[in-house]
Amino acid sequence: MSRRRNRRAPPDEWVPGTLLDWRSSTHWAATEQPCRYCGHDTHLRDSKKAPAHKVCAETALAQQAADAADAYHQRTDT
């Protein structure tokens, strides 16, 4: 019989730098390229190998989630 894991509740407020786990070496490149979000040079790469700062990617992800939630609420309110 498997035991159920207790799931933590999501945080009340998003804190930059805590959403994505980029500890893997696959998120690092030897050459700097402009971040796809802010344009400043970075060695970091996202999961699709595009140059991106971790905080920039998290901010974009949080914005996408907020936009999706707004669209959902607008759709269900009508």
- Cα–Cα distances (Å) from 64 to 67, 68, 70, in that order, read 5, 6, 10
Helix (H, G, I), strand (E, B) or coil at 9: coil
pTM of this structure: 0.66
Reported as a single tens digit per residue, the pLDDT across 32-50 is: 999 999 999 999 999 899 9
- What does the pLDDT look like over 24-34, one tens digit per residue? 899 999 999 99
Residue pair 66/60 in contact by the 8 Å Cβ criterion: no
Q: Where are the domains of the chain?
A: 25-77
